[in-house]
Amino acid sequence: MSSLKGTFDQLERDVLAAMAKPKKSFWLALAVSSLMFAVGMGCWGWQIYKGLGVAGITNPVGWGVYITDFVFWVGIAHSGTLISAVLFLFRAKFRNSFNRTAEAMTIFAVMTAGLFPLIHLGRCWLFYWLFPYPNQRLLWVNFRSPLVWDVFAVSTYFTVSLIFWYVGMVPDLAIVRRYTTGVKQWIFRIFSLGWRGTRYQWEHYGKLYMFLAALATPLVISVHSVVSWDFAMSVVPGWHTTIFAPYFVAGAIFSGTAMVITLVVPMRRIFNLETYITVSHFESLAKILLFTSMIVTYSYIVEYVLAFYSGHEFEIAHFLYRSFGDYKYLYWLMLLCNSLLPLTIFVKKLRRNLTYLFILSLFVNVGMWLERFVIIVSSLAKDYDPYAWGTYTPTLIEAGITLGSFGMFFTFFLLFTKYLPVLSITEIKEISE
Amino acid sequence: MSKQWMFDEKADFLAKLRELVDGGVDPHDLETMTPFPVHEADHILHTRTSRLRFFTLAGTLTGLIAGFAFTIFTVMDWPLITGGKPLISLPPFLVIAFELTILLGGILSFVGFLALARLPSVKNVLQPPKEYGNRFVIQQRGEE
Amino acid sequence: MQRREFLKLMGIVSGGAVLSSCGEDPHKKLISHVVPREGEVPGMAALYPSTCTECGAGCGIWVRVRERNPFKLEGMPGHPINDGALCIRGQASLSRLLHPDRITAPRRRTNTGDYQDVSWEQAMADVEQALSESGGRQVYLAGRTTGSLAALIDEFCRTRSFDRAPEVERFNHEAIRFAGDALFGRKSVPQYHLAEADVLVSLGADLLETFVSPVNFARQFAAALEKEQRWYHLEPHFSLTGNRASRRLVIRPDSEPYLLAWLLRAVPARRDLPAAVAAAVPAVTAEAAARQTGLPVTVIEELRDALRASSNPLLLAGGVALAGNNGRLTAVLAALLQWSLDMVGRTVDYERHENYETVGGAADFAGLVDALSDKQIGVLLISRLYHLDHVPSLRDALCGARFRVGLTDFMYPPYDGCDVILPLSHSLESWDDVEPRHGVISLIKPVFRPLHDTLSEGDILLQMMNNGLNYRTYLARRWGTIGRELLDQGWVIRDTEETTPTLQAGAPPPVITIQEPPADKTLVVVPSLRTFDGRSRVLTLLHEIPDPIATITYGNWVTLSVADADTLGITDGQELDIRTSGAGLRLPVKTHPQLAAGRVMVHTDQLDGLALPRDASSGEPLGILPIDSWQATGTRIDVPILSGSFTGAVGRGILPHDKPHHGPAHGGDDHATEHPPATLYPPKEYSRYRWALAIDLDRCIGCSACVAACYIENNVAIVGPDEHRIGREMAWLRIEPHLSRDGRMFFIPVMCQHCENAPCEAVCPVYATYHGSEGLNQQVYNRCVGTRYCANNCPYKVRRFNWFDHEWPSPLNLMLNPDVSVRPKGVMEKCTFCIQRIRQGKDHAKDQGRQVKDGEFTTACAQSCPTGAITFGNLLDRSSRIYALAQSPRAYRLLEGIGTEPAVYYLSKKRENA
């Protein structure tokens, strides 16, 4: 019979095995993602030098791939917080095996997302003008603008998520320092703040965790609502609708959960964490995926019903264009990926098949990226004045920067898997007895 | 003279703790170290609820008030009409105030935690004390 | 540094500035003189009078000059030709002066066929040498010349023994002059008094686009609107002129003689025709006329009745109506009708005719062509020719001259192979005058010394006449007593000795049989609004601004009807191969909903070398060509078409009185000022000024003069075809063609609407755009970070983003308006209601301690409009024109249902389906 301590020691060894000397495949993956990142940075540099004209955005479609990427990455970030904070408040124990990874995903996704408002600016070297700092010219920002709300929401989200992630990691960093030596140990000692696990430390820690979770929950909802209001606060047909806030939040959780599955299925295999992340955990994630997919599908239906029921010429014209116009192939592909394919999760055998879930999650990610693209581009392409109607074709620069964003995300994520514990060891211990 | 007990099992640890407290030891003299929070220990030791909540409250209230105060101040300082909307536009300002509520609430909670948990402990970083790993430890401070 | 050093440095710098300002090129300096010229205040624009020479109409202009640089041309109010307006080509002509590709110095052709720059002494010496060695005839071949230069050329030809060839002009109105000569003994183009006519019937002539004096006609049209003139325009194709007429009648190409012959007999004559003439007119029944022209009998009877009931009618034929095989006949029949209905001497004015006497028809050049081919010409001097494709025999024979001297500003095709090129100064750098109409003399006065090493033609000729005069002195002598008035006013009207002609009794029209019009598909060659006959192609601005009919900017195309496109299975941008008279044309297609089936429109300057067949009697190139066969080639050419759709505007609140169904229930009432939309907010208060614009869609002809004026006034960048293909044109103001529910085409000028509840202002994160206290939507360039949310949120899509930095290749940068900043990349821009003019106007009024008066200043677009369609003013001034227009029952605003409360009012009569 193994003691609790013995189980815990084994747990620690298993998790920290992932932080051992990296294999060649790790270096290869890191090299590839770093290369992608570098390509993205190069493209951005070229864009700054030449001007935003090197991208495909134009009149009337003034926003394109960059804003799609922005909303995409912020959406992905949300699932992490859902798993960490919201499921914590619901006392869903199954969250504990992947909430660290999910939170890390949130941090890196928010960082990646946060670059895009800079990338899409015409004069990005003046990006700091979006922050309300006291200045010699006595200028302030326009708080009525949803873009300023974005600044506040995304900064808040990043800060609170970082605090939450870091605070959650402190006891685990204390564990890691036991297993390291030399410079590495110094680093872990500093970042674990001298944590000892005393009762009063745990007590305050527990309260902090709960308050942060309680604060993060409305934050999750508000941040993506604010991001969706970038569109809903405009007069553009197809954007100007009150359904956007819940629709986008559900969509965010949907795409984020898919990304969690995309990341954790291979990670579990590579690091041999099958004992700790079980098929049932994935099944629960799959159920979340299905549920949010159904909310998103419902939102699609409601959008159409509202448009036609309203009799609003411009809304009706827009929705006909969205389904049968220049971007119709993207639209129907999006429906396939977001609404139809996730329905297969109703089949128990499928939702317990990790390979199937992995492939499905890739489709969902593609579908959710397409959803944002279709909403942004098709609404702008044809709105009120027929003279101004036009189309948008992304250029290689935009593809390069999108590629670079994935490179950035995966670079950070790979480094995370190597240098930080990928499971929340402490929380798994908490539920193991 | 301080005493120390180490256990591999949580049940043993709790039993000893109960025994000590029932035996009349002052809970304030007892210090425990565990690999994860053990709520039963809190019960046994009759601890007071953490005072962290005051930090959180202070943070959120400051954020809320600051949100409205700042936005209204800037708009009165530089009154520009945009889109025919009134100068003091409460719905947008509410969004800002909401975000600031969460932000300052989170930051102040974190600061409060550091203060209350007495972290970072420079002494412990520079001269790390004994590591107990996954054992449950009770330490009793003795009188000198 | 120490104070002493600082003062020393300042002393040197200012001394240097004074010294350097003597004799050095003023254009190298931002402020050209430390001590300005008398009467000039640095920072304040000076106005110089002159005349536009981009085409031959002779519109008077004021040139706005700052620190010695002209940066804007404006029509001269009161001028007899254009009365304050200026067309799209006139506005763009400023860029001709500063064009980087202008010839900057005399050139001599080397043995290898290249050109090398030489000095004037060398070039003139070469010319003199050629003249002395010539051993043959010497010929002077020029484009249409009027005024003192024409007199000087005559004198020169006499003195230096040159033969003066007929003048070359693509649009020589040969048929009109033939008819005038045959019937009245006047081989000239009469002046048409449109404004005085109560019924106007025009066949084919694109009066408002390029025909003779389009700005003048546009002005007259505007005046005639007050009098409720009935204007019938008959054309086989679609033109801006036809669209603007009260009734546009689509007639079968080259079938006009049937209609005119019938009208001659159907409408009772008011002046008798000689019996021989009357008998010679073909007898055409109403049914035959209707059948041949394709017009219903009721319509031609309506024409007859209108003419019969009119008290002062005007009927004229020109342009496309005279371009078929029946061209001369149509002109003659039209002239007969003019006589018969007593128009000659009243609305058809031969006394103050347009000056086209010296212009040659194709046949007039036969002698010269023969002489050239026989190598009889020793020296050929050509001046101000743009192309000779309409006289291919002459074009090909030019090389027969032993020595060719070319006077020009650009290397147009006729100058290929010239031995010496003498570069001409632009009219803005020269002294001169023009007499576009008999008795109307318009001044040309230079703004500065020639930018390059060029001379005016007058100075060149006087040099060669060796009499020591310069052209300025020559002009002064020639003007004599009218000189003072000419210099003061910019124009003079002189008495004419001409008299009203009478019908020559013994003059039966030589051609009287009507030739069969083309049966089926025809190619209709039309003049180009933007490039006239192609001469203005060198001006890039005119390519940047779209042709209003097709909304295509760069490139060549043909216009096709929707029905034909369906039959051919061809869509916009796909290439069509047309076979006509044994030759072929391959161009991409643009469909137009108003073009009738069976007609393909192509511009005169886009024929791509297609050799046009000739009229049998006159030798003029035909413009109505039967199409033998046509088919889609399958190639797709990416033509930059700026409009997304011509037909999508119905029911959207863009067309007049055409609200979306869901809109607020106003019943039939579209008054912007009654029933304001429901709002949560208190109404806005304005204290002294509230700027607004009114655009009269019943006057707008779609000519795009306003667009060109806006480009030049506001330093708007020219971006080129690649950017246009993806939709990145920078135009702040654009002409949107929209098809209405009842099948009429509206040209709607759209610019920033300066909405009171502007959707763009609320979403800018940095306050780069906000609402000013006088109703303007202000854009602050240096605050803009370029998020482009404002452009996304604008329902009118009038905001333009700078995707790249823009260049103004030298010397075009001299044309930049110093009052308007040049925007860098990453910054949003849009129409500002010419805020620089508003500022100046207000400052001026403030200096005088008063409010701005209505009409004291106006926006660039309003100022240039030939029909006065755009009105700018202060809505708070109840006596202002803008206030009256905004209250008119004709007023509506674009997309009112959104609730933006725009400050631009559009006016259009409410029509029952007509």
pLDDT per position as a tens digit, C495-520: 888 888 888 865 555 557 888 888 88
Position C673 pLDDT exceeds 80: no
Each domain of chain B, given as residue ranges in start order, spans 3-49+129-140, 52-116
Cβ distance A204 to B74 less than 8 Å, yes or no, reads no
- Other Cβ atoms less than 10 A from the Cβ of A173: the count is 19
Task: Write down the residue that tokens 């008959």 correspond to.
Answer: C234
The mean pLDDT value for C123-151 works out to 94
Tokens of A262: 């995309």
On whether the CB atoms of residues C652 and C658 are closer than 8 A, the answer is yes
More confident residue, C429 or C34: C429
Position A2 pLDDT exceeds 70: no
Neighbours of chain B (3+ CB pairs under 8 A): A, C
Task: Write down the residue that tokens 């791509």 correspond to.
Answer: C608
Write out the residue range of the structural domain in which residue C145 sits.
Answer: 107-170+359-491
Query: Tens digit of pLDDT for each residue in C376-434?
Result: 999 999 999 998 989 999 999 999 999 999 999 999 999 999 999 999 999 999 999 99
Alpha-carbon distance of A79 to A250, in angstroms, equals: 10
| Percent of chain A residues topping a pLDDT of 90 | 75
Cis ω for the linkage preceding B120 (within 30 of 0): yes
On whether the CB atoms of residues C221 and C213 are closer than 8 A, the answer is no
Q: How many domains does chain A have?
A: 1
- At residue C28 the predicted structure's pLDDT band, cuts being 50, 70 and 90, is low
- Residues C305, C212 share a domain: yes
Kindly report the pTM of this predicted structure.
0.92
Q: What is the identity of the amino acid at B11?
A: A
Minimal-distance CA residue of chain B relative to C765: B82
- Residues C710, C592 share a domain: no
- Residues C420, C338 share a domain: no
Alpha-carbon distance of A198 to C866, in angstroms, equals: 88
User: For A8, which DSSP code?
Assistant: H
Q: Is B122 on the interface with A (CB under 8 A)?
A: yes
Report yes or no on A124 lying in a domain. yes
pLDDT at A79: 86
The mean pLDDT value for C301-329 works out to 96
- Residues C532, C473 share a domain: no
Alpha-carbon distance of C839 to A111, in angstroms, equals: 46
Neighbours of chain A (3+ CB pairs under 8 A): B, C
- At residue C42 the predicted structure's pLDDT band, cuts being 50, 70 and 90, is confident
Q: What is the identity of the amino acid at B10?
A: K
Alpha-carbon distance of C718 to C185, in angstroms, equals: 49
Cβ distance A156 to B119 less than 8 Å, yes or no, reads no
Alpha-carbon distance of A67 to A227, in angstroms, equals: 10
Cβ distance A63 to C649 less than 8 Å, yes or no, reads no
Report yes or no on C138 lying in a domain. yes
The mean pLDDT value for C575-587 works out to 92
Report yes or no on C216 lying in a domain. yes
Cβ distance B36 to A433 less than 8 Å, yes or no, reads no
- Other Cβ atoms less than 10 A from the Cβ of C581: the count is 15
Q: Which A residues, 129 through 158, put their C-beta within 8 Å of a C-beta on chain C? A: 129-130, 139-142, 144-148, 151
Report yes or no on C898 lying in a domain. yes
- Residues C339, C396 share a domain: no
Comparing CB atoms, the residue among A8, A139, A141 nearest residue B35 is: A8
Query: Tens digit of pLDDT for each residue in C344-376?
Result: 999 999 999 999 999 999 999 999 999 999 999
User: Within 13 Å, how many C-alpha atoms sit on residue A24's CB side?
Assistant: 0
On whether the CB atoms of residues C783 and C800 are closer than 8 A, the answer is no
Position C306 pLDDT exceeds 60: yes
* A314 Cα to chain C: minimum distance (Å): 8
| Residues of B in Cβ contact (< 8 Å) with A216 | 102, 106
Q: How many domains does chain C have?
A: 5
- Residues C330, C420 share a domain: no
Minimal-distance CA residue of chain C relative to B84: C757
Write out the residue range of the structural domain in which residue A102 sits.
Answer: 25-428
On whether the CB atoms of residues C116 and C448 are closer than 8 A, the answer is no
Minimal-distance CA residue of chain A relative to B35: A197
| Percent of chain C residues topping a pLDDT of 90 | 82
Report yes or no on A371 lying in a domain. yes
Position A252 pLDDT exceeds 70: yes
- Residues C333, C363 share a domain: no
Alpha-carbon distance of A6 to A28, in angstroms, equals: 35
Alpha-carbon distance of B112 to B119, in angstroms, equals: 10
Query: Tens digit of pLDDT for each residue in A44-73?
Result: 999 999 999 999 999 999 999 999 999 999
Minimal-distance CA residue of chain A relative to C792: A62
User: For C584, which DSSP code?
Assistant: E
- Residues C398, C278 share a domain: no
Question: How far does Cα A190 stand from its chain's mean position?
Answer: 29
- Residues C887, C764 share a domain: yes
Report yes or no on A4 lying in a domain. no
pLDDT at C669: 40
Among candidate residues C570, C603, C636, the one where a domain is terminated: C636
Q: Residues in chain B with pLDDT < 70?
A: 1, 143-144
Minimal-distance CA residue of chain C relative to A144: C762
Cβ distance C681 to B85 less than 8 Å, yes or no, reads yes
Phi and psi at residue C645, to the nearest 5°: -165, 140
Among candidate residues C636, C655, C682, the one where a domain is terminated: C636
Report yes or no on A59 lying in a domain. yes
Alpha-carbon distance of B94 to B72, in angstroms, equals: 11
Q: Which positions ≥6 away from A357 have C-beta within 8 Å?
A: A261, A265, A282, A285, A286, A350, A351
pLDDT at C507: 57
pLDDT at C14: 44
- Residues C201, C307 share a domain: yes
Cβ distance A142 to C660 less than 8 Å, yes or no, reads no
Tell me chain B's radius of gyration from C-alpha atoms.
24
- Residues C549, C423 share a domain: no
From the number of C-beta atoms within 10 Å of its C-beta (0-12, 13-18, 19+), residue B53 rates as middle
CA distances in angstroms from A121 to A62, A64, C631, C794, listed in the order given: 11, 12, 47, 18
ipTM of the assembly? 0.94
Minimal-distance CA residue of chain A relative to C804: A51
Tokens of C361: 């028809």
- Residues C248, C214 share a domain: yes
Query: Tens digit of pLDDT for each residue in A176-207?
Result: 988 888 898 999 999 999 898 888 899 999 99
Alpha-carbon distance of C826 to A57, in angstroms, equals: 12
From the number of C-beta atoms within 10 Å of its C-beta (0-12, 13-18, 19+), residue C108 rates as middle
Query: Tens digit of pLDDT for each residue in C754-765?
Result: 999 999 999 999
Alpha-carbon distance of B81 to B75, in angstroms, equals: 10
Report yes or no on C416 lying in a domain. yes
On whether the CB atoms of residues C419 and C109 are closer than 8 A, the answer is yes
Of the candidates C154, C161, C159, C157, which has an alpha carbon nearest to the alpha carbon of residue C136? Answer: C161
pLDDT at C5: 60
User: Within 13 Å, how many C-alpha atoms sit on residue C151's CB side?
Assistant: 12
Q: What is the 3-state secondary structure (H, E, C) of C823-884?
A: CCCCCEECCCCCHHHHHHHHHHHHHCCCCCCCCCCCCHHHHHCCCCCEEEEECCCCCCHHHH
Q: Pairing between strand C734-739 and C691-696? A: unpaired
Position C914 pLDDT exceeds 60: no
Report yes or no on C447 lying in a domain. yes
Cis ω for the linkage preceding A60 (within 30 of 0): yes
Report yes or no on C678 lying in a domain. no
Question: How far does Cα C894 stand from its chain's mean position?
Answer: 28
CA dihedral C110, C111, C112, C118 (to 10 degrees): -10
Cβ distance B128 to A152 less than 8 Å, yes or no, reads no
Indicate the average pLDDT of chain C.
Answer: 91
Q: Is B91 on the interface with C (CB under 8 A)?
A: no
Alpha-carbon distance of B89 to B77, in angstroms, equals: 14
Give me the long-range contacts of B125-131 (CB less than 8 A, separation at least 24). B125/A189, B125/A190, B125/A193, B125/A194, B128/A177, B128/A189, B128/A194, B129/A196, B131/A178
Tokens of C649: 């505007």
Task: Write down the residue that tokens 């008999």 correspond to.
Answer: C438
Position A1 pLDDT exceeds 80: no
pLDDT at C33: 66
The mean pLDDT value for C202-207 works out to 96
What CATH number did the domain enclosing A303 receive? 1.20.1630.10
User: For C204, which DSSP code?
Assistant: S
Would residue C516 be called left, alpha or beta, if left means φ above 0 and alpha means ψ between -120 and 50 degrees? beta
**Residue to test with chain C: of B71, B82, B87, B96, most C Cβ within 10 A:** B82
- Other Cβ atoms less than 10 A from the Cβ of C846: the count is 11
From the number of C-beta atoms within 10 Å of its C-beta (0-12, 13-18, 19+), residue C886 rates as buried
Report yes or no on A17 lying in a domain. no
DSSP string covering C800-812: EE--S----TTTG
Q: What is the 3-state secondary structure (H, E, C) of C748-796?
A: EEECCCCCCCCHHHHHCCCCCEEECCCCCEEECHHHCCCCCHHHHHCCC
* B49 Cα to chain C: minimum distance (Å): 44
Of the candidates C567, C475, C504, C498, which has an alpha carbon nearest to the alpha carbon of residue C339? Answer: C504
DSSP string covering C611-679: PPPB-TTT-PBPSEEE--EEEEEEEE----B--S-SSTTTTTT-STT---TTS---TT---SSSSPPP-
Tokens of C514: 């009507």
Report yes or no on A212 lying in a domain. yes
| Residues of A in Cβ contact (< 8 Å) with B128 | 177, 189, 194
Q: Which positions ≥6 away from C665 have C-beta within 8 Å?
A: none
Report yes or no on C183 lying in a domain. yes
Q: Is the dihedral of CA C667, C671, C672, C673 positive or negative?
A: negative
Phi and psi at residue A351, to the nearest 5°: -80, -5
Q: Is B8 on the interface with A (CB under 8 A)?
A: yes
Query: Tens digit of pLDDT for each residue in C598-648?
Result: 999 999 999 988 889 999 889 999 999 999 999 999 999 999 999 999 999
What SS3 state is found at A122? coil
Neighbours of chain C (3+ CB pairs under 8 A): A, B
